[in-house]
Chains A and B, each alone.
Chain A
Amino acid sequence: MADVVLKNVQKSFGRARVIHGVDLDIRDGEFVVFVGPSGCGKSTLLRLIAGLEDITGGDLFIGGERVTELPPAKRGIAMVFQSYALYPHMSVYDNMAFGLELAKSSKQEIDQRVREAARMLQIENLLDRKPRQLSGGQRQRVAIGRAIVRDPKVFLFDEPLSNLDAALRVQTRIEIAKLHTDTRATMIYVTHDQVEAMTLADRIVVLNAGRIEQVGSPLELYHRPANLFVAGFIGSPQMNFIECQVAGVGPDEVLVHLPNGSSVAVPVAPDGVQPGETLTLGVRPDHVQVSSRGPLTGRVELVEELGENHLLYVETGQGSRITVREPGDARHEAGSTVTLDLAPEFCHLFKTSGEALPARNRAAGSALSSPSRMTSSIA
């Protein structure tokens, strides 16, 4: 059990800098998920914490101890790899015991720990098998078991579920969440799948191009994205973005003109914006409704039925498209014309720099979770 502190951590490969000074405080027992698009540096950051890559600049502390220059084995971490990284010629038992043999543990203790981990992961009956005789899900469990027997201070997961099929992914995700509640160990988890991030994390770290875009609880990120990147990255289908112009500024709201001339009063702090300035209005597909009130009009291009809800892709002129999610079956056909209403209290405004205007009285704010939220309750 330990906290992990990154102080201005940097990484360069030759002249290419891939991590630009990351500061991060991961609390003891916390489940932190790194998300971001491909090549954002999330895996590199994890490998820096693991010690598989050298830190070029800055410092790393695990459990209060400076470990920047320590080899991986001395950092008190265990890592689960995307490709499982099992030793193909060793049995499941030996795979889990191999790392312990060196720690000068007695045979009895090794045996006890391996069997304990195997029982926890329900792979006791597989201990004599070779990795090639196991399914993907079983292999990943063995890999997790190998991490558990080391009894690490920090668990590191590098996209552990991406080689599994959809059903198994959900199941293994639940098991990882359960492992976290059982062990209360600090866990750092890298994924590009935002469902995994939302369901597992106490806090999510959104990375982009080697920089942290935002750190926060899943709902904080969903309801109060700090910038355009986070707003677009978290949530599926993606948030709608509409270019607009500031028409008026009040103390607690900003009035904006949409391209078709209609206006919306968004309850956010003006943060110094001036009338006439161009902003981007963001609204999630769930917060747009088909309604006779307007303000937007468009033609339905495509309907996607998902059963419990449906998606409308509406062309609102000038090539801009709005996605609408409504419950139940679609009541509109492709080609029909609809008017759309936005819920102003759920709209976000972003400056041209990408930065969000601070939200006021946001209803969702009360739903923000505390960091100690039990992950298992989500799973």
Chain B
Amino acid sequence: MSQSVATGIAPVQSVARGRRSSLTRSRIRAAWTFIAPTVIVLALIAGWPLARTIWFSFTDASLNNLNDYEFIGFENYLASYGGEWFGLLTDPDWWHAVWNTVWFALVSVSIETVLGTVVALILNAAFPGRGIMRAVILIPWAIPTVVSAKMWNWMLHDQFGVINDMLLNLGLIAAPITWTANPDTALWTVVMVDVWKTTPFMALLILAALQMLPGDIYEAARVDGVHPVKVFFRVTLPLIRPALLVAVIFRALDALRVFDLIYVLTANSRDTMSMSVYARQQLVDFQEVGVGSAASTLIFLIIALLVVITMVAGRVRFGEEAR
């Protein structure tokens, strides 16, 4: 130490530089140590199955014997035999499932966003029993989907269901409705149950965003005499927009993958079949691992595409401070 001081400034600087780079190196090493478990776990539980599914989609694998398969290229997706086209992309059932899923996601997420905002605004207001209300509203979200779907199945039952009974007694309908079997009502019924179940989730996310808003700007708006409705559309909505879009993307991701709710409520009905239900049917019922994997791969691509479109359209930037 005394030596380096005695010999001048240069050695001190080089010591400092050496120390800094070793510090940087140890920081980088620490960073990798911390993210390594996550990277490994993600690679194992998400990366590997995804890669395997994509691989299977290019084979003729069957559920009977997963070890005996051949690479067949894009034939699961699209193939031509003697001038006729075959494969997933020509299957009207698949496109029907895609349409069902997109329609379901669009309608249910829209309704949930509007209702969730309304509920969040109510829960954000000060009223007695607010804490209890905030807890109670989460109950539909806390019930496992299979349980709530079964529960709704019974409530919607065409002969013994409480809903038909109530509507008959009120005189709103003349005959019981087969809610989940009737093609006209089946998909709407699924949407209704999904809205019942996931509105609390939206409300909770939006409530969190509302609680981040500064209170004083609302007082400024009161002094300015701005009508509350205008305050909502001109002040509140723009300010919670980033959080709202994140919530919408989360919900849309869930809705596009919807399986359990539809499967329990309507089984393999073609009228309500979603992309996931279709993939499961190919994979398990028809034992066509190749076609099922191709469907799963397309689900992955469709969801990725829709999310990217939403993010670009909504100018969502993760990681940027939401202001």
Contact B239 A77 (CB under 8 A): no
Check A52–B219 contact: CB distance below 8 A.
yes
**A244: min CB distance to chain B, Å:** 48
A89 within 8 A of B: yes
- B216 interface contact, C-beta 8 A: yes
Contact A72-B214, Cβ < 8 Å, known A52-B219, A132-B323:
no
Asked if residues B214 and A89 are in contact (CB atoms below 8 Å), the reply is no
What is the number of contacts between chain A and chain B, taking CB atoms within 8 Å? Answer: 62
Q: Which of B203-246 contact A (CB under 8 A)?
A: 214, 216-217, 219-220, 222-227, 230, 234-235, 238-239
CA distance A349 to B223 in the complex (A): 45
Assess whether B239 is in contact with A79, with CB atoms less than 8 Å apart: no
Residue in B216, B227, B323 with the greatest tally of chain A CB atoms within 10 Å: B216
Complex-state Cα separation, A34 to B215, whole angstroms: 23
B235 touching A99 by the CB < 8 A rule?
A: no
> What's the nearest-Cβ distance from chain A to residue B66, in Å?
54
> Does A83 lie within 8 Å of B216, measured CB to CB?
yes
Q: Name which residue of chain A comes closest to B224, CB basis.
A: A99
Question: In the complex, which residues of chain A have a beta carbon less than 8 angstroms from the beta carbon of B216?
Answer: 81, 83-85
Question: Quick one: CB contact mask for A225-265 with B, threshold 8 Å, 1 for yes?
Answer: 00000000000000000000000000000000000000000
Q: In the complex the two chains form, is B225's CB within 8 Å of A73's CB? A: yes
Q: Is the CB of B222 within 8 A of A52?
A: yes
Contact A73 B219 (CB under 8 A): no
Question: In the complex, how many angstroms separate the beta carbon of B229 from the nearest chain A beta carbon?
Answer: 12
* Residues from chain B with Cβ under 8 Å of A146 in the complex: 220, 224
Are B323's CB and A102's CB within 8 A? no
* B323 adjacent to A78 (CB under 8 Å): no
Q: Which secondary structure dominates chain A's binding surface?
A: loop
Cβ-neighbour of B224 out of A52, A83, A84, A150 (below 8 A): A150
* CB pair A74 B214 closer than 8 Å: no
The reply to whether A98 and B239 contact each other, CB–CB distance below 8 Å, is no
Set B225, B234, B235, B239: member contacting A72, Cβ < 8 A: B225
Q: Give CA–CA (A325, B225) in the complex, Å.
A: 51
Q: Is A294 an interface residue (CB 8 A)?
A: no
Residues of A within 8 A of B222 (CB): 51-52, 71-73
Chain A residues in 8 Å Cβ range of B323: 88-89, 132
User: For the complex, what is the distance from the CA of A52 to the CA of B225, rounded to whole Å?
Assistant: 12
**A83-B214, A83-B216, A86-B217 are contacts. A77–B230 as well, Cβ < 8 Å?**
no
Residue from B217, B219, B226, B238 within 8 A of A102 (CB atoms): B226
Tell me, yes or no, whether A50 is within 8 Å of chain B by CB. yes
A72 to B226, CA, bound (A): 10
Complex Cα distance A150/B224, Å?
8
Q: Give complex CA distance A103, B224 in Å.
A: 9
Assembled-state Cα–Cα distance A211/B321 (Å) = 44
The answer to whether B223 touches A77, judged by C-beta atoms less than 8 angstroms apart, is yes
User: Which one of A72, A84, A86 lies within 8 Å of B223 (CB-CB)?
Assistant: A72
Choose among A72, A79, A85, A89 the residue that contacts B238 (Cβ–Cβ < 8 A): A89
Whether B220 contacts A89 by the Cβ 8 Å rule is no
Question: CA–CA, A146 to B226, complex, Å?
Answer: 14
Min CB distance A49 to B, Å, is 11
Bound-state Cα–Cα, A77 to B219, Å: 13
Would you call B219 and A74 a contact (CB within 8 A)?
A: no
Residue of A nearest to B321 (CB): A132
Over the window 89-101 of chain A, the binary record of Cβ atoms lying under 8 Å from chain B Cβ atoms (1 yes, 0 no) is: 1000000001100
CA distance A50 to B222 in the complex (A): 10
B224 touching A85 by the CB < 8 A rule?
A: no
Contact present for A79 and B223 (CB under 8 Å) = yes
Contact A102:B223 (CB < 8 A) given known A88-B239, A88-B323 = no
Residues from chain A with a CB closer than 8 A to the CB of B220 are 79, 81, 85-87, 146
In the bound complex, residues from chain B placing their C-beta under 8 Å from that of A71 are: 222, 225
Interface centre among B222, B223, B239 (most CB of A within 10 A): B223
Q: Which 6 A-B pairs have the closest CB atoms?
A: A73-B225, A99-B224, A85-B216, A85-B220, A72-B223, A89-B238
What are 28 sample pairs from A and B whose C-beta atoms fall under 8 A apart?
A: A71-B222, A72-B223, A73-B225, A77-B223, A79-B220, A81-B219, A83-B214, A85-B216, A85-B217, A85-B219, A85-B220, A86-B220, A87-B235, A88-B214, A88-B239, A89-B235, A89-B238, A89-B239, A89-B323, A98-B226, A99-B223, A99-B225, A99-B226, A102-B225, A102-B230, A103-B225, A146-B220, A150-B224
Q: A79-B219, A85-B219, A102-B227 are in contact. List 12 more A-B contacts (CB 8 A).
A: A50-B223, A51-B222, A73-B222, A73-B225, A78-B223, A85-B217, A87-B217, A88-B214, A102-B224, A132-B323, A146-B224, A150-B224
